Structure 1
């Protein structure tokens, strides 16, 4: 992970989303792509000043972002798909292959996969990852020990958050309560699965309420896999929102997936997203895995593609992030912890437009908010001199082809991969 260090002073000119620049900075209005031409001044790994560039300077400038955030991953099973394939690409096939992999899961394998994931994230331009961990079975303790070790090793480069993933009812047992205290003491979150599909029985309601009260007592957050299905019409997120509001529970809570909400008609969907906003529920949409697995038919392409209704949630005031979820495992055969690849896929799959604040925020500021990160990803005087500079000068170029990139960390350019060819737009970003 060697790097070359540029002298303190001005960084190369670039085009930056106005939404990721200090709103109080005196800058010209953004162009029709939401971009502003700037030159940043850095010293000692921090931004010292943001200088506007005059319009019409001639040469195209590279598009730049602050490093992005991965709000939902599974490091313990990443890169296991080749050894444990799911050739049908179905939910049932994924669960079966995941079970076979878990039976053979060992600490050295989790360490190798976790290190590979974090090293790639660092190079690609991620600054934080929240990973769920399968936490019930003989593999649980070794997985936690390894990932806690990796969290310490990568602290200050890629921040790693860990979520204990168990059946929701487990948290109501004496063993579950003891484990929850252990997780909370290590800065982890409590998690689980509602669905799929979620039936919302009285036992489910009691178990979820017990989990929320336990998390409130321990002072930790909750991140649930909810409604990851092509049926059920948002019953899980409806129950979560109802319990938080009815019992006035102060628990930071994220509903990951929330896929079956997409099957609701406009009016009931609007009522549900308003209840979620009132309960301060956050959502992580996961289009890659959901579009790969859900509603799949062997002989036809489904007409309905269940994934979280991002735009409706945002319009109601719900904080929404977009995550990559599974990476080269039985649940999804693709992915690589590359936030730009995820962004390019999700813009089309979810009808997001990056030149608008709410189109870009699920990958940056909203994701940082859901994870409770110290830095919201907006460049200000004194913020980290961390950048993701792309070999594309516009959003259209970014969507047209996978861009080259240069990553700046604390004012130092990371060396590009040996196989990467230079981009004319990035010649000033020496690595």
Structure 2
């Protein structure tokens, strides 16, 4: 089989019965047609073998600048978000361009092996030298052949609470960060947090950029920066371009408050990003028993018609010592933690790591359809249920009609072509 494809045959598509042929021309899907029976693939065709073909995975929230630094310079013994920030502050002083480029590229290749082709990374810009940011701009260019990389200017230690925080954010945008970040619950005061949201929203609106805010990543039910973010997004008519990441405090809000909050959220149209593995690890640390799960109200948000996507957040860093790049693992944990193992949820669960993540990244061309870029995965399983049960590596990852990864179902060694 050639690396550049003219078609994928014997494919199953979500929500459809039978087998399909996906025609490819000049790196785009040029036609989708039902097959009457299984067919033998030619030299320039990929045989999906009756497995489910899905859009490429989307990783909507990761910290590549910190990836692969767990235990450096010390381990996070308390397992809290706040000690993780302290550990990272120490490690950050030793960053070099080669260090960041090497670890980030290694992580992106791990992601590619698991079928991830779209990534949004937060990069700490509370560094007077912006070392990590400038290194990540290089990574974005060097890895463009196998991943689309969005870079968030992320003020890990605050915008108002860090010296020259606003100036560093503006410089990060000038250098090429395409998404404006924030962390209002970590600012020194509630007023600082509210002001940081208003400021970053104006910055994004001024430069026509996306927004992704670490919002209420804490179990405190009085942490309510989400309502400020939603109100600002609504005021600017910007909601579909704004992602609220984590929103862990929502899991501790009372239902009376949530009934009012959800009215605003639906009006604003915010996107929501939840990182279940990391939130289960970091949150609930100040509880005795019962311990809170620390995850936002995922099923309720989905029932309200809002877009929610799952992300990994960390790969072996001061906040989370685990992670292997497999989005199906993240999905499985999230469905368990959110009580979403009913079949009606499972049948649509892959949307949490595909279409909904694409919506958060504001991807203009995404999915399986005529005229769209031929970026897709051959899963191991005929249905979302089978795919989730196995959580096995993808059999193939196709990008613009070119095979990036190919595996034999019986021999799952990687066939990366990077």
Matched, 1:14 2:11: yes
* Structure 2 CA distance for aligned equivalents of residues 238 and 259 of structure 1: 13
Q: Give the C-alpha shift of residue 323 in structure 1.
A: 1.0
Corresponding residue to 2:281 among 276, 292, 297 = 292
1:317 alignment partner, SS class: coil
1:17 alignment partner, SS class: coil
Q: Give the C-alpha shift of residue 363 in structure 1.
A: 1.3
Corresponding residue to 2:202 among 173, 188, 213 = 213
Other-structure match for 1:25: none
Comparing 289-298 with 71-80, greater Cα deviation is found at: 289-298
Alignment of 1:14-413 (within 5 A): 14-18=11-15, 30=16, 37-54=19-36, 61-83=50-72, 84-138=74-128, 140-166=129-155, 167-170=157-160, 176-177=166-167, 179-180=169-170, 182-184=172-174, 186-195=176-185, 201-233=190-222, 235-245=224-234, 247-248=235-236, 250=238, 252-296=241-285, 302-352=290-340, 359-377=349-367, 379-405=368-394, 406-413=396-403
Give structure 1 stretches of 5+ with no counterpart. Answer: 19-29
Q: Flag the 1:411–1:176 CA change in 2: closer, same or farther, 3 A.
A: same
* Structure 2 CA distance for aligned equivalents of residues 14 and 50 of structure 1: 10
**Conserved? CA contact 2:112–2:146, under 8 Å:** yes
**Conserved? CA contact 1:184–1:220, under 8 Å:** no
Q: Flag the 1:389–1:401 CA change in 2: closer, same or farther, 3 A.
A: same
Matched, 1:423 2:405: no
Q: CA RMSD in A?
A: 3.3
1:304 alignment partner, SS class: coil
Deviations 1:154-188 (A, max 9, x none): 22531111111215544998772474155156252
Q: Give the C-alpha shift of residue 263 in structure 1.
A: 1.5
Q: Flag the 1:42–1:305 CA change in 2: closer, same or farther, 3 A.
A: same
**Conserved? CA contact 1:106–1:142, under 8 Å:** yes
Which protein has greater RCO, CA pairs closer than 8 Å, 6+ apart? 1
* Structure 2 CA distance for aligned equivalents of residues 202 and 296 of structure 1: 25
Give structure 2 stretches of 5+ with no counterpart. Answer: 40-47
Comparing 275-284 with 170-179, greater Cα deviation is found at: 170-179
Task: Provide the TM-score with structure 2 as the length reference.
Answer: 0.84
Q: Give the C-alpha shift of residue 54 in structure 1.
A: 4.5
Q: Flag the 1:278–1:88 CA change in 2: closer, same or farther, 3 A.
A: same
**Conserved? CA contact 1:216–1:249, under 8 Å:** no
2:363 alignment partner, SS class: coil
Task: Provide the TM-score with structure 1 as the length reference.
Answer: 0.82
Matched, 1:5 2:20: no
Q: Flag the 1:425–1:100 CA change in 2: closer, same or farther, 3 A.
A: closer
How many residue pairs get matched?
Answer: 401
Q: Flag the 1:179–1:258 CA change in 2: closer, same or farther, 3 A.
A: closer
